[in-house]
Chain A
């Protein structure tokens, strides 16, 4: 069953983009810098103006408050932002220890000041923070850009685990090998946001 549907989506001079995702699917997106991948994710989270059709389980963004939509369709930016001094202040409730461990984070990391976090730790915690809302769709923008190989695999496994229980993920990256590992299907975006389904990443 199609759970997340996007039809003739155009945004900021890019598009039209049409695709659909079934529950539990991880769909990959690749393309050169500046072709509008990040902007696509922002439009899907209703953070930039767009035209066309977006629906999650038949529900259009405009029919529910914008912030409710963004909890269901969660955009995870490549650079996570931390505006309080303490890590825990950014979490409404603490993530499971198992999830922290799965991403190679120390259990005490929530008690740390943000200034102590490395960029890799920020990226992994940023993902966990977005998962706290239990989104239906995760929009990932280069989610492993700051991670080494081992942590990259750990993050991939964590997202795959969530998707095994029904979450969907749209995964944007420059790394074709990563898409081969995580994505069941994929799209390539060319300059100007031209959108095409592909069979292989290489």
Chain B
């Protein structure tokens, strides 16, 4: 079955009702029109650029190009995690730990999927590697950002409690054990919710896309199951690792709470 391709004029047509909405917002003085139109233009430019680049990368399938593209995704994910923090570690530790967590969890899970599950050859084939990495990295990023933010904000608020626990002879690890658990729980909440409602309340975008492009629904569903398991794994291990490392960074070698390392 052939896909019914959309032309550029179809896209313009899709933008018409959105423009009408912006006009309506302006008339209602909601102050949203500008942001809405800027967002729409950004979507257009960003996706068009990605499309052009992906087309190039797919046509010259070389490991170097896949690698470069994945590094750009890692950098963008790291930047986004950092941007979402209310309190950051000084001296670039937030950036470093976010990148480490994203890389360790996101890339391991993706390579596992490519080699052991999809079994595409060569394993770095951009057509599979890049979309898979994108989905896994995106969700790992959300998990890490939530976990880090919960940990550092609560450590800041609960300084007196943590220090009283230290004064009573608890180790640094014991004194923040509750905070660490709460941070990982917060990090995992969105993904656990989406596992629970997947297919009932929401039809995942990737599956919908595959079905629209003519795939057998059962084949699309199997891909989606794999993706759901992979993104939960990536977000879980990514947030566990990052929360653990951040919790350690909150203390020095004498197990003193060092909130001066946050700003």
Report which A residues bind B (CB closer than 8 A): 45-49, 61-62, 65-68, 70-71, 74-77, 79-81, 83, 129-130, 133
Complex interface: chain B residues within 8 A of A49 (CB)? 252, 254, 256
List which B142-184 residues lie within 8 A (CB) of chain A: 158, 160-161, 163-172, 178
Task: State whether A81 and B254 are in contact (beta carbons under 8 Å apart), knowing that A45-B167, A47-B166, A47-B167 are contacts in the complex.
Answer: no
- Taking CB atoms, residues of chain B closer than 8 Å to A65 are 171, 255
In contact, B169 and A79 (Cβ under 8 angstroms):
no
Contacts of B255 in A (CB 8 A): 65-67
Select which of B160, B171, B252, B257 is within 8 A of A81 by beta carbon: B160
**Chain B contacts with A in 188-246, Cβ cutoff 8 A:** none
- By a CB distance below 8 angstroms, the chain B residues around A61 are 254
Binding site for A on B (CB under 8 A): 158, 160-161, 163-172, 178, 252, 254-257
10 residue pairs from A and B, CB less than 8 Å apart: A48-B256, A66-B166, A66-B171, A66-B256, A67-B255, A74-B168, A77-B164, A81-B160, A81-B164, A81-B165
Shortest CB distance B126–A (Å): 50
Cβ contact within 8 Å between B178 and A77: no
* New A-B pairs, 8, CB < 8 Å, besides A49-B256, A66-B166, A66-B172: A61-B254, A67-B166, A67-B170, A67-B171, A70-B169, A77-B164, A81-B161, A83-B165
Do the beta carbons of A83 and B178 come within 8 Å of each other? Answer: yes
| A133 to chain B: closest residue by CB | B169
A83 to B170, CA, bound (A): 14
Q: 9 tightest A-B contacts by CB?
A: A71-B169, A81-B164, A66-B255, A75-B167, A81-B161, A66-B254, A67-B171, A83-B161, A70-B169
Provided the pairs A81-B160, A83-B178 are in contact, do residues A46 and B167 lie with their beta carbons within 8 angstroms?
A: no
Which residues on A sit within 8 Å (CB–CB) of B167?
A: 45, 47, 70, 74-77, 130
Once bound together, how far apart are the Cα atoms of A182 and B255, in whole Å?
A: 33
Complex contacts, B257 vs chain A, CB 8 Å: 47
Measured CA separation A49–B170 after assembly (Å): 18
Query: Nearest-CB distance from A182 to chain B (Å)?
Result: 21
| Nearest B residue to A76, CB-CB | B167
**Residues of chain B lying within 8 A (CB to CB) of residue A71:** 168-169
Contacting pair A46 B256 (CB below 8 A): yes
Nearest-Cβ distance from residue B150 to partner chain A, whole angstroms: 16
Inter-chain contacts of B169 with A (CB < 8 A):
67-68, 70-71, 74, 133
- Closest beta carbon of chain B to A12's beta carbon, Å: 10
User: Smallest CB–CB gap between B191 and chain A, Å?
Assistant: 28
A77 near B170 with CB under 8 A, answer no
Give the distance in Å from the alpha carbon of A182 to the alpha carbon of B257 in the complex.
32
